[in-house]
Chains A and B, each alone.
Chain A
Amino acid sequence: MLAIGVALWLGLPLRSSVRAQAIPAPPSNERLVRVIAHVPRRLPPPPQAGYLTLENGVLPIALPLRDPRKEAVVVLCPREGGSLPPIASPIEILLSGYRFSPALVVAPPRAPLVLRNQQKQSFSLVPAEPSGPGVRLALPAGQSQNLQVPDDGGQVLSLHAIEQPQLRLTVVASCGPTRRLVFGDTGEVGVSEFSVAPGPYVVRLYLDHALAVEQPVRVADHDAEVILRSGLPVEPVSVPGRALPLQESLRP
Chain B
Amino acid sequence: MMSMSKLWLFLLTVLCGISALLLVVSEPELQRREIARQEQSLARSQQVAHLLLKSQAYTLLHAASQTAADAELSAALSAVSREQGELPLQHQASQAALRRLLVSQPVSFAWAVDHKGQVLSRIGQDEAEYRDAVDGLPVIEAALRGYRQDDLWLVHDTLYRVAAVPVVAPTHDHYIGAVLLGNAMGSEVMAELSQLAGVQSVFIGGGRFLSAASSPLLSAVEAQQVRADTLLGLRDAQGAQVPLRLGNRVFTFLDLPGQASAQRAVLVMAVPVVSPRILPQVLRDALSRGVPWSLLLLLAVGVGVLYGLGRLVFQGDVIQLLSSRNAPRSDDALDALEQPTFAGPEAEPEALSPQPAPAQREEPAPAVSEPAAADDLLVSSSSFQDAEEQTRVAGVSEQAQMAHAMQQPEQDLLRAGPSTASPLVRFATESSGLSSDGGMTPLPPPLPTAFRPENSLPGMTSELGTGLFPATDDEETRVAGQGGELGAASAPEIVYYGLFQEYVQARERCEQSVEGLSYALFLKRVTNTRESVLRDYHCHTVDFRVVIKDGKATLRATPGWDATR
Please report which residues of chain A, range 110-127, place their CB below 8 angstroms from some CB of chain B when the two chains form the complex.
120-121
Stretch from A30-38, A59-67, A235-243 forming part of the interface with B: A59-67
Stretch from A75-83, A161-169, A184-192, A244-252 forming part of the interface with B: A161-169
Q: How far is the CB of A127 from chain B (nearest CB, A)?
A: 13
B139 to chain A: closest residue by CB: A49
Stretch from A20-28, A95-103, A170-178 forming part of the interface with B: A95-103
Task: Contact check, B146 vs A163: say whether CB atoms are below 8 A apart.
Answer: no
Residues in A whose Cβ lies below 8 Å from that of B261: 165
Task: Contact check, A98 vs B137: say whether CB atoms are below 8 A apart.
Answer: yes
Task: Contact check, B259 vs A165: say whether CB atoms are below 8 A apart.
Answer: yes
Whole-angstrom CA separation of A99 from B133 in the bound complex:
9
Task: Contact check, A65 vs B259: say whether CB atoms are below 8 A apart.
Answer: no
- Whether B154 is near chain A, meaning CB under 8 Å from some CB there, is yes
Task: Contact check, B259 vs A54: say whether CB atoms are below 8 A apart.
Answer: no
Residues in A whose Cβ lies below 8 Å from that of B146: 55-56, 59-62
Q: How far is the CB of B143 from chain A (nearest CB, A)?
A: 9
Q: How far is the CB of B431 from chain A (nearest CB, A)?
A: 104
Residues in B whose Cβ lies below 8 Å from that of A62: 144-146, 174-175
Residues A54 and B149 in contact in the complex (CB < 8 Å), given A62-B175, A97-B117, A163-B154? yes
- Whether A2 is near chain B, meaning CB under 8 Å from some CB there, is no
Task: Contact check, A46 vs B145: say whether CB atoms are below 8 A apart.
Answer: yes
Whole-angstrom CA separation of A46 from B138 in the bound complex:
8
A164 to chain B: closest residue by CB: B259
Task: Contact check, B172 vs A58: say whether CB atoms are below 8 A apart.
Answer: yes
Whole-angstrom CA separation of A64 from B363 in the bound complex:
116
- Whether A131 is near chain B, meaning CB under 8 Å from some CB there, is no
- Whether A50 is near chain B, meaning CB under 8 Å from some CB there, is yes
- Whether A85 is near chain B, meaning CB under 8 Å from some CB there, is no
Whole-angstrom CA separation of A51 from B161 in the bound complex:
10
Residues in B whose Cβ lies below 8 Å from that of A130: none
Task: Contact check, A53 vs B134: say whether CB atoms are below 8 A apart.
Answer: no
Task: Contact check, A45 vs B147: say whether CB atoms are below 8 A apart.
Answer: yes
- Whether A48 is near chain B, meaning CB under 8 Å from some CB there, is yes
Please, what's the 1-or-0 string for B171-189, where 1 marks a CB less than 8 Å from any CB in chain A? 0111100000000000000
Contact of B172 among A59, A96, A160, A166 (CB under 8 A): A59
- Whether A233 is near chain B, meaning CB under 8 Å from some CB there, is no
Whole-angstrom CA separation of A243 from B499 in the bound complex:
145
Q: How far is the CB of A49 from chain B (nearest CB, A)?
A: 4
Residues in A whose Cβ lies below 8 Å from that of B442: none
- Whether B263 is near chain A, meaning CB under 8 Å from some CB there, is yes
Contact of B57 among A45, A51, A60 (CB under 8 A): A51
Task: Contact check, A51 vs B257: say whether CB atoms are below 8 A apart.
Answer: yes
Interface size class of B (residues with CB under 8 A): 35 or more
Residues in A whose Cβ lies below 8 Å from that of B118: 97
Task: Contact check, B150 vs A49: say whether CB atoms are below 8 A apart.
Answer: yes
Contact of B257 among A49, A61, A64, A66 (CB under 8 A): A49
Residues in B whose Cβ lies below 8 Å from that of A59: 146, 166, 168, 172-175
Contact of A163 among B141, B161, B263 (CB under 8 A): B263
Residues in B whose Cβ lies below 8 Å from that of A166: 136-138, 259
Task: Contact check, A50 vs B134: say whether CB atoms are below 8 A apart.
Answer: no
A165 to chain B: closest residue by CB: B262
Contact of B133 among A55, A61, A96, A121 (CB under 8 A): A96
A95 to chain B: closest residue by CB: B136
Task: Contact check, A51 vs B144: say whether CB atoms are below 8 A apart.
Answer: no
Task: Contact check, A52 vs B135: say whether CB atoms are below 8 A apart.
Answer: no
- Whether B258 is near chain A, meaning CB under 8 Å from some CB there, is yes
Whole-angstrom CA separation of A98 from B136 in the bound complex:
4
Q: How far is the CB of B210 from chain A (nearest CB, A)?
A: 15
Contact of A64 among B145, B155, B173 (CB under 8 A): B145
Q: How far is the CB of B132 from chain A (nearest CB, A)?
A: 8
Q: How far is the CB of B293 from chain A (nearest CB, A)?
A: 48
Please report which residues of chain B, range 473-524, place their CB below 8 angstroms from some CB of chain A when the two chains form the complex.
none
- Whether B337 is near chain A, meaning CB under 8 Å from some CB there, is no
Which of the listed residues B54, B132, B136, B173 has the most CB atoms from chain A within 10 Å of its own CB?
Answer: B136
Contact of A52 among B137, B141, B148, B175 (CB under 8 A): B148
Whole-angstrom CA separation of A120 from B138 in the bound complex:
18
A99 to chain B: closest residue by CB: B136
Whole-angstrom CA separation of A72 from B394 in the bound complex:
130
Whole-angstrom CA separation of A51 from B118 in the bound complex:
25
Task: Contact check, A48 vs B257: say whether CB atoms are below 8 A apart.
Answer: yes
Please, what's the 1-or-0 string for B48-72, where 1 marks a CB less than 8 Å from any CB in chain A? 0000011001100100000000000
Whole-angstrom CA separation of A164 from B54 in the bound complex:
21
Task: Contact check, A53 vs B142: say whether CB atoms are below 8 A apart.
Answer: yes
Residues in A whose Cβ lies below 8 Å from that of B61: 52, 54
- Whether B151 is near chain A, meaning CB under 8 Å from some CB there, is yes
Residues A50 and B175 in contact in the complex (CB < 8 Å), given A61-B147, A62-B145? no
Whole-angstrom CA separation of A103 from B126 in the bound complex:
27
Task: Contact check, B136 vs A49: say whether CB atoms are below 8 A apart.
Answer: no
- Whether B213 is near chain A, meaning CB under 8 Å from some CB there, is no
Whole-angstrom CA separation of A166 from B165 in the bound complex:
19
- Whether B110 is near chain A, meaning CB under 8 Å from some CB there, is no
Q: List 22 A-B contacts (CB under 8 A).
A: A46-B142, A46-B147, A49-B152, A49-B258, A50-B151, A50-B257, A54-B61, A54-B149, A59-B174, A62-B144, A62-B146, A64-B145, A97-B133, A97-B135, A97-B136, A98-B133, A98-B137, A99-B135, A163-B259, A164-B136, A166-B136, A166-B138
Interface residues of A (CB under 8 A from B): 45-56, 58-66, 96-99, 120-121, 160, 162-167
Q: What are the nearest 6 A-B pairs in CB distance?
A: A97-B133, A98-B136, A50-B150, A99-B136, A46-B142, A49-B151
Q: A52-B57, A61-B145 are in contact. List 14 more A-B contacts (CB 8 A).
A: A50-B150, A51-B257, A52-B149, A54-B61, A55-B148, A56-B147, A59-B146, A61-B147, A97-B134, A98-B137, A162-B262, A163-B263, A164-B259, A165-B262
